């Protein structure tokens, strides 16, 4: 039988090519374009090679922003993943409380990000906010507009409140899909609760947790809105994460070249770390 060759089929993928071009490739190429040129007013551009990249990579400001960013992501992953898993394990599997729990868990995810920032901003105000006044009344010296530690504390608390639910819902979905026979077999094999968790639940949740960690990693590494609304990157630069630093460079100082270079480096870091993590987690499955 002869295979039909028809090059016209390429036209069928044209709409997708156009869509991707407009929403990804063209904007990205613009950024690449900026990153290798020096721009002046009246659309005057001069080739500058890799100078912006070198500048950014050597800038202390970028190093510190990256460090703060990594620290923030590490802290929230360490808190949110185990906490989310623990809550999912504690949630009921059947009965009327299931829907109550699910709705309660989903609520924080439905709130617009800038609203979350504003809510916590007010909540944590040391003079009128419930959290701020409460902490001060208990004898803690707490003021997120002045002390870097308080600011970090508030931001982390806010992120945990906002995003742990995502981990909970993903883990819960994974837990519910484990067939009952596994638990029955474990009971008959005399497995204690810890063994059930370690040898049944955790292995069965592997994919779900991988996705949860990836999502939380990417989102927290790119966190912007909530932090800007809450602290604006302060006090000083203490909560200026990469994304905030980038916006300051690009739109505050209007340094388009360095900002473009920084965007690309930022993008590559996220891509590389995600790829590394995913590959490591899935390494065993190929065998």
Instruction: Give residues in contact with other proteins (CB under 8 A).
Output: 179, 181-182, 184-185, 187-192, 195, 199-200, 203-204, 287
> Least distance (Å) from other proteins to the CB of residue 194?
11
- Closest to other proteins by CB, 110 vs 188, is 188
> Least distance (Å) from other proteins to the CB of residue 276?
22
> Least distance (Å) from other proteins to the CB of residue 193?
12
Classify burial at 274, counting beta carbons within 10 Å of its beta carbon; exposed 0-12, middle 13-18, buried 19 or more: middle
| Cβ partners under 8 Å of residue 70, min gap 6 | none
> Least distance (Å) from other proteins to the CB of residue 150?
42
- Closest to other proteins by CB, 116 vs 208, is 208
Give dist(CA 155, CA 123) in Å, integer: 12
Give dist(CA 47, CA 183) in Å, integer: 65
- Closest to other proteins by CB, 203 vs 252, is 203
Helix (H, G, I), strand (E, B) or coil at 47: strand
Instruction: Supply the Cα-derived Rg of the chain in whole angstroms.
Output: 24
Residue matched to tokens 């008959």: 188
> Least distance (Å) from other proteins to the CB of residue 207?
12
Asked whether the beta carbons of 173 and 248 are under 8 A apart, the reply is: no
Beta-bridge partners for 38: 46
- Closest to other proteins by CB, 110 vs 181, is 181
- Closest to other proteins by CB, 139 vs 179, is 179
> Least distance (Å) from other proteins to the CB of residue 205?
11
Asked whether the beta carbons of 216 and 74 are under 8 A apart, the reply is: no
In the numeric block, which tokens belong to residue 93? 């599997």
139 — phi, psi (to 5°)?
100, 0
- Closest to other proteins by CB, 183 vs 224, is 183
């Amino acid at each position: 039988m002869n295979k039909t060759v028809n090059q016209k089929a390429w036209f069928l993928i044209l709409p997708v090519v156009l869509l991707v071009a407009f929403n990804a490739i063209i904007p990205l190429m613009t950024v690449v374009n900026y990153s290798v040129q020096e721009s002046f007013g009246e659309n005057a551009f001069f080739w500058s090679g890799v100078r912006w990249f070198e500048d950014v990579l050597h800038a202390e400001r970028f190093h510190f922003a990256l460090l703060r960013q990594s620290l923030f992501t590490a802290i929230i992953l360490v808190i949110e993943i185990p906490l989310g898993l623990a809550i999912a394990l504690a949630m009921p599997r059947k009965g009327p409380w299931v829907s109550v729990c699910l709705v309660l868990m989903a609520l924080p995810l439905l709130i617009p990000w800038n609203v979350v920032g504003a809510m916590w901003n007010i909540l944590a105000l040391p003079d009128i906010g419930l959290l701020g006044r409460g902490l001060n009344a208990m004898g803690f010296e707490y003021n997120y507009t002045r002390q870097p530690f308080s600011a970090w504390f508030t931001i982390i608390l806010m992120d945990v409140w906002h995003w742990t639910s995502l981990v909970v819902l993903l883990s819960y979905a994974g837990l519910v899909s484990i067939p009952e026979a596994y638990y029955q077999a474990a009971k008959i094999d005399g497995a204690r609760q810890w063994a059930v968790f370690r040898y049944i639940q955790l292995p069965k949740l592997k994919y779900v947790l991988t996705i949860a960690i990836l999502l939380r990693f990417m989102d927290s590494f790119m966190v912007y809105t909530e932090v800007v609304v809450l602290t604006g990157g302060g006090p000083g630069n203490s909560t200026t994460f990469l994304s905030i630093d980038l916006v300051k460079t690009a739109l505050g100082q209007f340094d388009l070249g360095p900002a473009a270079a920084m965007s690309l480096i930022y993008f590559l870091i996220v891509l590389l770390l995600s790829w590394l993590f995913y590959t490591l987690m899935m390494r065993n499955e190929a065998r």
